[in-house]
Each structure stands twice: as structure tokens, then as C-alpha cells.
């Protein structure tokens, strides 16, 4: 599959080698290998193997902004601060090796992290043999561990972690978050967004729940695909914090539930040993220490957010003439699902 425009690997390798010589002048690092472990739509990620003068090797992950923007602003410095705060918590994350704000080395700012061990979680677990060929109790343990880790993230003391002002949001920030996404829909559509999507975003803005629980550090992209798992199926590392915010923990829980529902809808199968929805919510609430609020509304909001991102990426792909697994505009089947859920929500009130 052809991907969106990306930077030249030879240019990146040369610039990163020069940066390494500047940062570690005595190591004599050379790049033994440079890979792109993911195709990437919202960022460029490089897996770099460095070799020093003593022939010792280490692997690093280098994150760059995408060459074609999915976000109005891509703040790698904020990601570094989130990872730094989480490094002091019970959430396993890659170590921050360096954040380079200058674009003079490789044409963009970049974040250098340790390489997280483990096996990446699947985007569609029901299609992943590593999951489906495991015994049901092993499947259950994997899923339960993910749910517990989500609650652990939401229990992190983000104030003590010096994240106030580092990322978007804060206490009583839901209205601001909804407003940000209403603006994003307009921006992502280059001023001409799909009408049904803009209307759904406006609906979210007009129906913001009155109850807003205490704010948590939110992952922003809570999916099994953003987790590295150990051989025993425990969580080895939690990745991809580019959408991190401070706000209701329901933002993350609803994101996971709504996208999991979509995956089930389209692949038409589930993992037998995974928790049911009610079991998942009950376990999550017990781990978090409170009941969740307005989950149905938050799931609709999550679908609007994920569809807005898809809209942006699909438009960029179409303009560039490259393949993309989603579609923009009225042909996106998720818009019908959002509309049905809005109608059902309104009918239940």
C-alpha cells in the first residue's frame, strides 16, 4: 500500500547520525538499521538501531510530525512531558531519551524514545491468531489487564506530574474539549466538512452533559493496538500519547467501547474470552473507584471524534492519490451509525 508523502529515509538517517554525534560525541554511533514499523497517518515513526564503536547496539524509536498534517498543531514536547510524568507512575511507557525541538537536524522536531519490548496488540483482535488461538482464560486475562491498565492511567496524579497546561484540558473542561473538536471538524474538512459530520459535532456541543466527574489524564487513543503485550499477555508498554488530554475518564472508556463496537460490526466476530460490555464497565468502575457518567453520550462523541480524524486522513489520501482504508464524505458508513445513535439517545430522554 502506498502511503502519504513521507520524508526521505536517507536524509533522515544522515541528519539523525549527525544529531547523535552532537549529543553523544564519544560514542561514535552509526545507524546499523532504520525501519518504519508502522505505515503511519498521524505521525512518522522510525525504528533506529544504533551501533557504537564497541559494536554494541541499541534500538531507539524516533517520532516525527507527519509530513502532511492530521492535526492543526503537533506537539512532541507535550508528548515528552506526558511520558515523563507516566514514567513515575504504574503505567509502563517508553523512556524519553531526548526531545529535540530544533528542526535543523532532520527538517522537523523529533522525540527519541526507548524501544518498548513485547508484541503489539491487534487493531482487530478477533482476526489476530495470537489472540484467537489462545485459551479463553488467556484471552480474558489479556482483556482484563487492558481494562485495569486503563483505570490505572486515569488514576495518575496529573497535577503532581506537572501536566497542568502541558496538554489540552483540565478540571471542568468537557465543554472546551467539545468546542475543540467542533473546530477540528471544520479544519479537517478544509472549511467544507461533510454536513452529517458537522451536524453530529454540533449536536454534541448542544447536549453536553451537566455532570462532569473529576478530571483524569486521558490517553486519547485507548485501543489494544496501542499496547505492547508480554508473552504472558500482560501489558508491557502503553504507546501513542499524541492525543493525550486532561478531562473526564469517560472520554477514553467511550473511545475504546465505541471503536470496539465498530470493529465487531465490520468484522462480524468477537473474541470469546473477552469481557462483555457490562463486565468491562463493571470491572473498570471497580478499578477506577467510581461509577462512570453519561457513557452513551460519550460514545457518540467518541464516534464523532474518530470519524473526524478519518475524514481528514481520507481527504489527504484522496488528494495524494494513495490508498487509505477509510472513506471521506457521505459514503462513510459510520455517519449512519452516528445518526442512529443520536436518534436513539434523543428518544430515550
Alpha carbon distance 136, 341 (integer Å): 31
Which among 98, 77, 96 has a CA at the least distance from the CA of 86?
96
pLDDT at residue 2, as a whole number? 44
Q: Measure the N-to-C terminal CA separation of the chain; round to a whole number of Å.
A: 45
pLDDT at residue 316, as a whole number? 87
Q: Write phi, then psi, for 84 (nearest 5 degrees).
A: -65, -40
Block means of pLDDT (10 residues each) for the chain, length 349 residues?
A: 71 97 97 83 92 97 92 96 98 98 97 96 95 97 98 98 96 97 96 96 98 96 97 96 98 98 95 98 98 98 97 87 80 96 86
Q: Where are the beta strands (DSSP E) in 110-257?
A: 110-114, 119-120, 215-218, 227-229, 235-238, 245-248
**CATH number belonging to domain 119-348:** 3.90.1200.10
Other C-beta atoms within 10 Å of 99: how many? 19
Alpha carbon distance 80, 242 (integer Å): 10
DSSP 169: B
Q: How do the domains of the chain map onto residue ranges?
A: 9-114, 119-348
pLDDT at residue 182, as a whole number? 98
Q: Compute, in degrees rounded to 10, the torsion defined by CA atoms 232, 234, 240, 241.
A: -170
In angstroms, the Cα distances linking 5 to 35, 316, 317, 321 are 16, 10, 9, 10
pLDDT at residue 185, as a whole number? 97
pLDDT at residue 338, as a whole number? 97
pLDDT at residue 4, as a whole number? 60
What residue has cell string 508502522? 38
Q: Which CATH number fits domain 9-114: 3.30.200.20, 3.40.50.720, 3.50.50.60, 3.10.20.30?
A: 3.30.200.20
Amino acid at each position: 500500500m502506498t502511503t502519504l508523502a513521507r520524508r526521505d529515509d536517507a536524509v533522515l538517517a544522515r541528519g539523525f547520525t549527525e544529531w547523535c554525534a552532537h549529543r553523544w560525541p564519544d560514542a561514535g554511533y552509526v545507524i546499523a538499521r532504520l525501519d518504519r514499523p508502522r505505515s503511519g497517518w498521524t505521525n512518522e515513526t522510525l525504528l533506529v538501531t544504533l551501533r557504537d564503536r564497541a559494536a554494541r547496539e541499541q534500538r531507539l524509536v524516533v517520532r516525527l510530525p507527519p509530513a502532511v498534517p492530521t492535526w492543526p498543531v503537533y506537539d512532541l514536547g507535550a508528548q515528552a512531558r506526558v511520558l515523563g510524568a507516566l514514567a513515575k507512575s504504574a503505567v509502563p511507557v517508553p523512556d524519553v531519551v531526548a526531545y529535540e525541538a530544533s528542526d535543523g537536524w532532520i527538517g522537523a522536531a523529533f522525540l527519541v524514545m526507548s524501544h518498548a519490548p513485547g508484541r503489539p496488540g491487534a487493531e482487530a483482535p478477533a482476526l489476530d491468531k495470537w489472540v484467537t488461538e489462545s485459551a479463553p482464560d488467556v484471552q480474558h486475562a489479556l482483556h482484563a489487564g487492558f481494562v485495569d491498565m486503563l483505570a490505572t492511567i486515569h488514576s495518575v496524579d496529573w497535577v503532581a506530574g506537572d501536566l497542568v497546561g502541558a496538554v489540552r484540558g483540565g478540571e471542568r473542561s468537557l465543554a472546551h474539549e467539545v468546542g475543540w473538536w467542533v473546530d477540528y471538524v471544520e479544519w479537517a474538512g478544509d472549511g467544507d466538512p461533510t454536513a452529517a459530520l458537522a451536524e453530529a459535532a454540533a449536536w454534541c456541543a448542544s447536549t453536553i452533559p451537566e455532570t462532569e466527574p473529576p478530571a483524569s489524564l486521558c490517553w486519547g487513543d485507548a485501543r489494544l493496538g496501542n499496547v505492547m503485550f508480554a508473552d504472558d499477555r500482560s501489558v508491557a508498554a502503553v504507546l501513542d500519547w499524541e492525543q493525550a488530554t486532561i478531562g473526564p475518564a469517560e472520554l477514553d472508556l467511550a473511545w475504546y467501547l465505541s471503536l470496539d463496537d465498530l470493529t465487531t460490526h465490520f468484522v462480524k466476530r468477537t473474541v470469546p474470552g473477552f469481557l462483555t460490555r457490562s463486565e468491562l464497565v463493571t470491572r473498570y468502575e471497580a478499578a477506577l473507584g467510581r461509577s462512570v457518567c453519561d457513557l452513551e453520550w460519550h460514545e457518540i462523541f467518541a464516534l464523532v471524534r474518530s470519524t473526524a480524524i478519518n475524514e481528514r486522513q481520507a481527504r489527504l489520501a484522496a488528494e495524494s492519490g494513495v490508498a487509505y482504508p477509510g472513506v471521506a464524505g457521505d459514503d462513510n458508513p459510520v455517519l449512519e451509525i452516528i445518526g442512529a445513535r443520536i436518534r436513539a439517545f434523543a428518544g430515550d430522554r
